[in-house]
Structure formats: C-alpha cells, structure tokens
Structure 1
C-alpha cells in the first residue's frame, strides 16, 4: 500500500490517509468541503460544498497521477437528502462524459457540521 498526500486538499483530521493506492486502485477518504488554503468550509450551501469536496478529490487523484475521468465509484453523504437534486446537478458538472457508479446516503451528522462528504475509488 502507498499513501497519497497533497497540500492541494485538506489534511486528514484523524488517523487516516487522504488516499491509499492498493492493487491498481486509489481509495480516497471522505472529503469534506474544506478549502485547503483556509482550512474552512467554503460556504454553508450544499451545492458549493459538493463542488469543493469534488475539487479535493480531484487534487488527491492528481497527486496520484490520475484525474476525475478515472473515478469508478463514489459515495456521497448528505446531511439533508432534500438537497439531492441540486447537489446531483453540481456533481454532474465534474463527470461530463461517464459518471462513476455511486451510492448516496442521508447522514444524521457529518464531521465538523458539513452538509456534504464524498469519497472515491479511482482506477490507476
């Protein structure tokens, strides 16, 4: 296993890696909508938070030599499933050609009070 770390995505807030390469896949830990430059959420809007979480995933994938076109699976956690349609539209912006397989859940609470958290599996 090989850990992947980049300053272009927020540092892990616990005992985990931003990403791990194993068996030709990159497993990206759940990304909160934290701006790595400020260490804060970019806004309190789930659409903006979705975009930032995906930008963080993109940065980690790039650090491993991949990009979003190689994402094969994501999990999207939403504080409120009522924001699904709006978040879904923002999510689609990042996958214009082939959307990865995905699971979406409503979560009672997310770390740091986030409205969105997204993880990913990337083919290398």
Structure 2
C-alpha cells in the first residue's frame, strides 16, 4: 500500500524531518501539533487556554487537508507539561469534537518543543 504526504498552509509547517500527516490507505497519521500560529510560526501566547485552542485548530486544519474532520480521529494523544490542566483540555476538546469521542491518552511530560505547554497527535480513519 502506498503512502502520501498531507500538507496544508493552514497548519504550522514541519520543523524538521517529518510531515504534517501521512495517509496510508484510509488511515491518516497526524504528527504532533503545538500551538504555533501557521502564518507566523510563533507560539500564540503563554496562556494555556489559548495554546490549547491553537493546537486543536492546527489539528483541525490537518484533518481537513487530509479529507476528513476531527470527528474522523480514532485516537489522539495529548502531551501536557502540567497534568493539572487536564480538566481544561476536556472542556476545550468538547468544543471541537462531537460524540462519539476518539480514544485518547493524556500524559504529563517534562518538556515540549519551543517550551509550549501542550502537544497533540492522532490517527484518523477516513470514511471509505
């Protein structure tokens, strides 16, 4: 099965040796998104809530570029530098997703690129 690269200018450009997403069959693997504003490639702000919203907007843009929506995500992984922000992530996520929600993991880690507070990646299954 061949794979194809997904790219959109509506999400931050890859900063390194990876693609925004890769499609293989009807499955799309999304690389981690951090709260960079696509037009400036700068972190949106120091505020956690603004960072989380930007990450979900970036994920949304990559999903759409692949031909789907966030509701086609089967699995997401959320990386936080402060797990006490978990309830806020749930509230913000509910603004972008409809039920049934994807499977999910949320883990606290010591650091993220550009000293941001949140990163999200995922796996999307496109409708056949």
Q: What is the TM-score normalised by the length of structure 1?
A: 0.95
Alignment correspondent of 2:36: 34
1:55-112 residue CA offsets vs partner (Å, 9 max, x unmatched): 1111111111111111110000001111111122111211132211000000100011
**CA separation in 2, counterparts of 1:101 and 1:48?**
24
Task: Give the Cα–Cα distance (whole angstroms) in 2 for the partners of residues 48 and 88 of structure 1.
Answer: 14
Determine helix, strand or coil for the equivalent of 1:93: coil
Q: Distance in 1 between matches of 2:89 and 2:47?
A: 10
Quick one: distance in 2 between partners of 1:105 and 1:54? 17
Partner of residue 80, structure 2 = 78
RMSD of aligned residue pairs (Cα, Å): 1.0
Flag structure 2 segments of 5+ consecutive residues without an equivalent.
none
Aligned residues: 124
- Confirm or deny that 1:121 pairs with 2:127: no
